[in-house]
Amino acid sequence: MAPPRDLRDWIALLAREGELVRVAAEVDPELEITEIVDRVVKSGGPALLFERPKGSEHALLINQFGTERRMCLAFGVERLDDIAAKLGDVMEMQPPEGLREKVKGLLKLKSIADSRPKTVSKGPCQEIVLEGDDVDLGLLPIQRCWPGDPAPFITLPAVITADPKTGTRNVGMYRMQVIDRRSTYMHWQLHKDGRADLLAAEDGRIPVAVAIGLDPVTAYSASAPLPKHLDELMLAGFLRGEPVELVRCKTVPLEVPANAEIVLEGWVAKDDVGVEGPFGDHTGYYSHAEPFPVFRLSAMTMRRGAIYASIVVGKPPAEDAWLGKATERIFLPAVRMTLPELVDYDLPVAGAFHNCVLVSIRKAYPGHAQKVMHALWGLGMLSLSKSIVVLDEHVDVHDYEDVFFRVTANVDPKRDVIITEGPLDHLDHAPGRQFYGGKLGIDATHKLPEEDARPWPEEIVMSDEVKALVDRRWGEYGIRS
């Protein structure tokens, strides 16, 4: 099944699948929606379309990503690992040997080339164009999410910039605190690509376009931690199986997805900065107020009857859990490019993604677990991981009970725990200094003879014969369940 073409196609699919509730009652985007969504997310409930957000003519969609099933529906797959398989296929391309291999290789390359976004002359996102004094963020049902938030925040935007030197597009998901009708802050954290684009601007400012209300795969792609030189819209095109269509913006030299419900156009300048936050964030705490650049709008364009898309983050689990899980699954083949010995990994939702990585490896030599820890601490956004647990290949890293068993049973804290230092997530409130602090590595693998003097004991496992026997005879025992 092909992924949905735009937000409305997606809403129709959710409704057909029994995954959507339309809320007809008037509901306040100021805190009330958060409390409703928090309850629904934590009970695994449906996506919600608030048809009458208080103070706005626009409906608000939320919790579109809140379960594994909806995430799979969004991508048109049975399991999230199926997406990884598609990408892994491309990444593991070897130099072709025979003619048949060559043809297969060319087809794969073509599928990448065909994923590049394409420009079209007009799109629904510009059915309504507001410029100058007509621009008014107050038209949108933007949520104030938590009691300590100083203002409403746009939480599910695809923020589009271009590298001033190379022109390479970047799409990122950065929260945007509303300042007034025509400006917001732009929360470009230290390690983010959008910030790098601004810093590279010789004249001190860059154009910015923000797309809200996209098809779910393109919205997801904005959150994907791709290397700087890769265009997230190309990933979206590859995952959708058809290119993202773009239209030229009205007032800035950028392009935006034609199918967006709402587009904000404007500029960000290095010397135009204010104090943003605090904000109730995915860490479960309010991130401190800090200086961030201001985004000044030059235009706001919309589809007729535009639907505003939102998300609430907070103490995990929140709706972003499955955005993170999708990234974990989709990026597994990419991580394996650097670490072929990696069997699987898991970033527990309760670990807010950067706090903990569980990884299983095919251990082959003494110190292998430590090698893998250091490799992960040097790899893309995984470099910000605060703690890493390394397990043997037969351990299911998604079975936290079993992981806990290994960590307690196999670890000599004196021998198997590494404490080192490195860069930390911008939002991590625990270290004494922001951005930099301690890292914890735990080697929970079986130890090899070279790693310690005592022989490692054999693990208890029942023989396959006896298991098969008991399976066969189960009915005879008269044991219910």
357 DSSP β-pair partners: 388
- Tell the smallest beta-carbon distance from residue 192 to Mn ion (Å): 8
Given its phi and psi angles, is residue 173 left (phi above 0), alpha (psi -120 to 50 degrees) or beta?
beta
Q: Quote the crossing angle between the two packed helices 232-240 and 81-91, to the nearest 10°.
A: 110
Kindly tell me which of 144 and 192 has the beta carbon lying closer to Mn ion. 192
Rounded to whole angstroms, the Cα distance separating 423 from 437 reads: 7
Kindly tell me which of 193 and 265 has the beta carbon lying closer to Mn ion. 193
Rounded to whole angstroms, the Cα distance separating 440 from 379 reads: 16
Closest CA to 231 of 334, 295, 160: 160
Kindly tell me which of 193 and 281 has the beta carbon lying closer to Mn ion. 193
Measured CA distances, 334 to 345, 353, 365, 405 (Å): 12, 17, 23, 29
Name, in order, each residue with C-beta under 8 angstroms of 406's C-beta and a sequence gap of 6 or more.
391, 392, 395, 444
Kindly tell me which of 222 and 389 has the beta carbon lying closer to Mn ion. 222
Measured CA distances, 39 to 54, 68, 154, 261 (Å): 20, 17, 21, 27
- Tell the smallest beta-carbon distance from residue 327 to Mn ion (Å): 13
What does the block give as tokens for 197? 């684009």
């709402």: which residue's tokens?
Answer: 262
Active site residues: 281
- Tell the smallest beta-carbon distance from residue 380 to Mn ion (Å): 11
What does the block give as tokens for 114? 């065909």
Contact between 299 and 45 under an 8 Å Cβ cutoff? The reply is no
């960590």: which residue's tokens?
Answer: 407
Dihedral, CA of residue 314, residue 317, residue 320 and residue 326, to nearest 10: 160
DSSP code per residue over 311-360: ----SSSSTHHHHHHHHHHHTHHHHHHH-TTEEEEE--GGGTTTSEEEEE
Angle at 249 between CA 60 and CA 266, to 5 degrees: 75
- Tell the smallest beta-carbon distance from residue 271 to Mn ion (Å): 24
Q: What are the strands, taking DSSP E only, across 236-278?
A: 245-248, 255-257, 262-276
- Tell the smallest beta-carbon distance from residue 159 to Mn ion (Å): 10
Q: What are the strands, taking DSSP E only, across 38-103?
A: 47-53, 60-62
What does the block give as tokens for 227? 């290397």
- Tell the smallest beta-carbon distance from residue 467 to Mn ion (Å): 48
Rounded to whole angstroms, the Cα distance separating 212 from 461 reads: 53
- Tell the smallest beta-carbon distance from residue 259 to Mn ion (Å): 21
What does the block give as tokens for 360? 């299983």
Kindly tell me which of 219 and 369 has the beta carbon lying closer to Mn ion. 219
Residue nearest Mn ion by beta-carbon distance: 193
- Tell the smallest beta-carbon distance from residue 172 to Mn ion (Å): 6
Kindly tell me which of 80 and 226 has the beta carbon lying closer to Mn ion. 226
- Tell the smallest beta-carbon distance from residue 318 to Mn ion (Å): 23
Kindly tell me which of 226 and 335 has the beta carbon lying closer to Mn ion. 226
Kindly tell me which of 232 and 346 has the beta carbon lying closer to Mn ion. 232
Kindly tell me which of 195 and 363 has the beta carbon lying closer to Mn ion. 195
Q: Which residues form the interface with Mn ion (CB under 5 A)?
A: 170, 193, 226
What does the block give as tokens for 365? 């030599």
How many residues are there in the chain? 481
Rounded to whole angstroms, the Cα distance separating 73 from 17 reads: 9
**Amino acid identity for residue 306 in this structure:** A
Q: What are the strands, taking DSSP E only, across 93-190?
A: 118-119, 128-131, 153-154, 158-162, 169-172, 176-180, 183-185
